[in-house]
Amino acid sequence: MFFITPKPHYLIIMSRNIPVKVERREEVPNFYAESIQMVHSLTGFKLIVFRDKAEYSVDPSIGPDALIPRSIIKEIVAEVRFSPQQMKILSKVVNDQISAFESRFGEIALPDQSKKRDNTTASYT
The pLDDT confidence band at residue 122, using thresholds 50, 70 and 90, is low
Position 31 in a domain: no
Position 30 in a domain: no
Position 101 in a domain: yes
Q: Which range has highest mean pLDDT (16-20, 28-32, 37-41, 60-64)?
A: 37-41
Instruction: Decide if pLDDT at 19 tops 90.
Output: no
Domain range enclosing 43 = 2-25+37-108
CB count in 10 Å sphere of residue 77: 14
pLDDT at 46: 96
Lowest mean pLDDT among 60-64, 70-74, 100-104: 60-64
Position 122 in a domain: no
H helix intervals, 1-125: 84-105
Instruction: Decide if pLDDT at 56 tops 50.
Output: yes
Can you tell me whether residue 115 is helix, strand or coil? helix
The answer to whether 68 and 59 have CB atoms below 8 angstroms apart is yes
Position 116 in a domain: no
Q: How far is CA 19 from the centre of its chain?
A: 28
Distance CA 5, CA 67 (A): 49
Count of the separate structural domains present in the chain: 1
Mean pLDDT, residues 28-33: 84
Instruction: Decide if pLDDT at 40 tops 60.
Output: yes
Position 120 in a domain: no
Higher pLDDT, 64 or 53: 53
Position 93 in a domain: yes
Position 123 in a domain: no
